[in-house]
Amino acid sequence: MPKASLTNLSREIAGLVAATAPAIVAVQASRHNPSSAVHWREGLFVAASEAIETEEGITLTLPNGNAAVAEFVGRDPTTGLAVLKSEVPDGAPTLKPAGQAEAGNLVVAVGRDEAFTLAGFGIVSEVGPAWRSMRGGLIDRRIRLSANIDPCAEGGAAIDAEGGFIGVVLFGPRRRALVIPAETVDRVAATLAEKGHVPRGYLGAGLHPVRQEKTRGAMVMSLEAGGPAERAGLVLGDIITSCKGETVEGVRDLIRQLGPDSVGKTVALGILRGCEARSLDVLVGARPHS
């Protein structure tokens, strides 16, 4: 590539970072390194839930270098997002949404370490359909990055070549960078801003994994009096083997399938009672929030 082209590319990337940085703050909510957060709506910031180790005494470092006290609003461990609230200067910017991300697109990750802007550069390595996290959260698209990203930039913004907001940067297994897409951020942050938590599916049953040679599932070990499982007719010893037509091979599978979007819906559970296969319809409740 000609030197002039490399110089232009470098300037373009620096310009994208500079345009995004006013919407990114540093978060001090950990005994370790700070993390980053994105100014989502007026006075509301979306951060990485795992980086928010304390819910009191949180401070933000704003783009102008000033410190601001932040209030913890809520978190959703199923999608890895948290929302913080703080006063911001009038006209503090938010980010415009990006177009559809595709594998191979250039991506820039922007975070903040106290008064310093952090930037990472790479490509979108994978784009896939909606998926569920191990805790049952619905993520609207699978977006993985191949990029070198500073740990303090977790909770920052992934932006495309036009400066559009692809989503919030998190680290998955083996510290692989992934993006919680903007549509998921909007949905989850709106619920957290309103309720302080995201309702999660609840059966009111204590479960234990069953992994026998011919039987796999989740055995009912206890039942909450008057809870969704008891009302549906589940009894102690039943083994849940499927949910909504999908195989259940353990408690984690069932939790994943009873994500927040299942609350208030009737779902079909396949069970084994003794040696007899049955099907029960259960009206999923909302897990009590503590």
Q: Where among 198, 230, 249 does a domain terminate?
A: 198
Same domain, 174 and 243: no
Instruction: Report the b/e string of 190-227 with b at 16+ CB within 10 A.
Output: ebbbeeebbbbbbbbbebebbeeeeebbbbbeebbeeb
At 163-209, the pLDDT tens digits run 999 999 999 888 889 999 999 999 999 999 999 999 888 999 999 99
Residue predicted with more confidence, 4 or 84: 84
- Count of domains observed in the chain: 2
Same domain, 39 and 175: yes
Instruction: Provide the domain limits for residue 130.
Output: 1-198
> How long is the chain?
290
Same domain, 101 and 39: yes
Same domain, 168 and 270: no
pLDDT of 241 strictly over 70: yes
| Range of 2-6, 56-60, 211-215 with top mean pLDDT | 56-60
Same domain, 120 and 205: no
**Contact indicator for 205, 220 with CB cutoff of 8 Å:** yes
Same domain, 232 and 194: no
Average pLDDT of the chain is 93
**Which CATH number do you get for residue 62?**
2.40.10.120
Same domain, 191 and 207: no
The predicted model gives 212-239 an average pLDDT of 94
Same domain, 223 and 194: no
| Sign, CA torsion 238/239/240/245 | negative
What does the pLDDT read at residue 3?
65
At 89-127, the pLDDT tens digits run 888 899 999 989 999 999 999 999 987 999 999 999 999
Same domain, 134 and 44: yes
Per the DSSP assignment, residues forming a β-bridge with 210 are 217
Query: Which pTM was predicted?
Result: 0.85
| Sign, CA torsion 145/150/155/157 | negative
